[in-house]
Structure 1
């Protein structure tokens, strides 16, 4: 009994020692009680190796979830079921999130590396002063074509998509703002047009385009164009770059009438539980070497000026992916057009798809 009692005492002492040690570790750990960073991002939109390196360096466990539309992302954040620490919305949704009080104003004393961001991409209309957001990637919307099926000299404008010879040849992106934007810019209207008469006019023209449209799809565009199952597609610049890497006959064009200049951005939702972890992630992603590797993996243009310098010239010299200042003048950023007009755009897009 004495031996058992001694053993029991020793076990109790060991438990207290271990508990005390655990407490010391927990108190000394910078992520104590906040060991997770929950990231909400588009699918396949970060180099997985960078997540591992971030975890190893900072001691966090990253929980990574994906969404396939800005609307789905905002809905889930509003519901508050998951406490995302970082989200990556597009520019026109940021002002909506600000108006809905969904975002944390950024404390730049806790962020390192914002000075690496190109000044051209700071202080934009959707977030003056970058109070709530930091640019993550940027790009354009344009047309990609296969030179075995299409003469590139005859595909330089949005208007060219209506050519009769392209019957049943075009893959159209599944997005209301993007599709109606084609019609708007074809007629030299703003991408942020809200007059119902104008929207009705371009909807009628887009319905006339539908005989040329083989399918209205999203992610599948990459596979179909690489496999040469369509001649032309409307797609984003980064997606186009990935397709071109896999098929030498594919070429990307920014239409002469102009196009959308879009930005995806890092923000901190109000429901975040690990704000310090979010700042650490932002600082990590702003490092030029990290941003360079991420750009090479994802294929989209980096807004990080110092990271751009580290990229191969064969990438940065392609003006269709890194437009010069002259071309940038013809590009337009989506604004938040409000709930009612967004609903009108969606309804008209549904009409177009059903035509």
Structure 2
């Protein structure tokens, strides 16, 4: 993973900006990254600076910032006009950025070498390409970095496997005050929509993908009804601290992402707390986070070195 991450940083550095950075140093000596927390070990960033010096004889400074909600990231880029070189949004934000012409295509050759991204799984590439827009094949604009599921992290001491196997546990009054919801519009919306249409999903008359992308007034009204019914039962909304609350027995159920669930399960086991993770039987969202290059028309760009 470290080698792959260092390669990606090198790859995107060749697409950095040429304007002068606000510190007075040349902008091409600065790599600005906007990423999810916990996605890159800080040691890897240090290793990359050493690696880059060895490869080029030049120094590079990394400006690394993290976000915990996709919409915050998008607003910062779209409204704040931040000049990040690379960011790592989720699939639905990648689609939105493509529609708004906010991304640059990725040049997949470096130094005359062949495409070094050929090892991307065909399935992952096909999923990314579902985001394509007219004249914009998504896999030319985004490189998948992480993927996973949305599901239920639960404390096995207080929640049975059977209860955790259905989204209904989030509406179960016996867990009132012990439920944490992810502060993610898409995941909260999708969870309510999937649970509300459990019968249709079971009968095969609708798909999870249909529900996740249905923002009609009728669909939103149904979701609103279900989320309002859930509201009195939850302990709070979280964007990152939920996994820690689960490891400390302060919450028993957490709508979360599979990556956070794995971390929480491992951490909890070291302190004698038994957690587990399930994707509910009704179905769930498969998410993809990928590296993209924001397009800032007012700032000159340097093409990839060919």
Which of 29, 39, 54 is the equivalent residue of 1:35? 29
The verdict on how the C-alpha distance between 1:153 and 1:79 changes in structure 2, with shifts beyond 3 A counting, is closer
Describe the superposition over 1:189-219 as per-residue Cα deviations: whole angstroms up to 9, x where unpaired: 6111122122212321222222321212221
Describe the superposition over 1:264-322 as per-residue Cα deviations: whole angstroms up to 9, x where unpaired: 11011123767568x99xxxxxxxxxxxxxxxxxxxxxxxxxxxxxxxxxxxxxxxxxx
Contact 1:170 1:232 in 2 (8 A): yes
- CA drift of 1:170 comes to 0.8
Between structure 1 and structure 2, the one with the greater Rg is 1
In 2: Cα distance, 1:68 partner to 1:164 partner: 29
- CA drift of 1:95 comes to 1.9
- In the other structure, the counterpart of 1:169 is 178
Describe the superposition over 1:51-74 as per-residue Cα deviations: whole angstroms up to 9, x where unpaired: 122211223221112223222222
- In the other structure, the counterpart of 2:131 is 126
Describe the superposition over 1:106-147 as per-residue Cα deviations: whole angstroms up to 9, x where unpaired: 112238531121111003311445021000111111001111
In 1: Cα distance, 2:181 partner to 2:27 partner: 47
The verdict on how the C-alpha distance between 1:168 and 1:45 changes in structure 2, with shifts beyond 3 A counting, is same
Contact 1:36 1:274 in 2 (8 A): no
- In the other structure, the counterpart of 1:191 is 212
- CA drift of 1:241 comes to 0.7
Contact 1:34 1:273 in 2 (8 A): no
- In the other structure, the counterpart of 1:203 is 224
In 1: Cα distance, 2:121 partner to 2:245 partner: 35
Question: Tell me, what secondary structure is at the counterpart of 1:49?
Answer: helix
Query: Which has the larger displacement, 96-105 or 204-213?
Result: 204-213
Question: Tell me, what secondary structure is at the counterpart of 2:289?
Answer: strand
Which of 137, 158, 161 is the equivalent residue of 2:146? 137
1:266 is the counterpart of 2:291: yes
Contact 1:83 1:273 in 2 (8 A): no
Contact 2:86 2:291 in 1 (8 A): yes
Question: Tell me, what secondary structure is at the counterpart of 2:109?
Answer: helix
In 2: Cα distance, 1:236 partner to 1:114 partner: 26
5+ residue gaps, structure 1, are: 1-31, 281-355
- In the other structure, the counterpart of 1:257 is 282
- In the other structure, the counterpart of 2:5 is none
1:217 is the counterpart of 2:213: no
Question: Tell me, what secondary structure is at the counterpart of 2:104?
Answer: coil
Question: Tell me, what secondary structure is at the counterpart of 1:246?
Answer: helix
Contact 1:143 1:254 in 2 (8 A): yes
Question: How many residues were matched structurally?
Answer: 248
Higher helix share: 1
The verdict on how the C-alpha distance between 1:107 and 1:250 changes in structure 2, with shifts beyond 3 A counting, is same
Root-mean-square deviation (Å): 2.3
Normalised by the length of structure 2, the TM-score is 0.74
- In the other structure, the counterpart of 2:248 is 227
Normalised by the length of structure 1, the TM-score is 0.65
Contact 2:69 2:239 in 1 (8 A): no
Question: Tell me, what secondary structure is at the counterpart of 2:212?
Answer: coil
Contact 2:150 2:258 in 1 (8 A): yes
Describe the superposition over 1:215-254 as per-residue Cα deviations: whole angstroms up to 9, x where unpaired: 1222120221010001111111111111001113000010
Contact 1:34 1:274 in 2 (8 A): no
1:66 is the counterpart of 2:69: no
Describe the superposition over 1:153-174 as per-residue Cα deviations: whole angstroms up to 9, x where unpaired: 2220112322232222211111
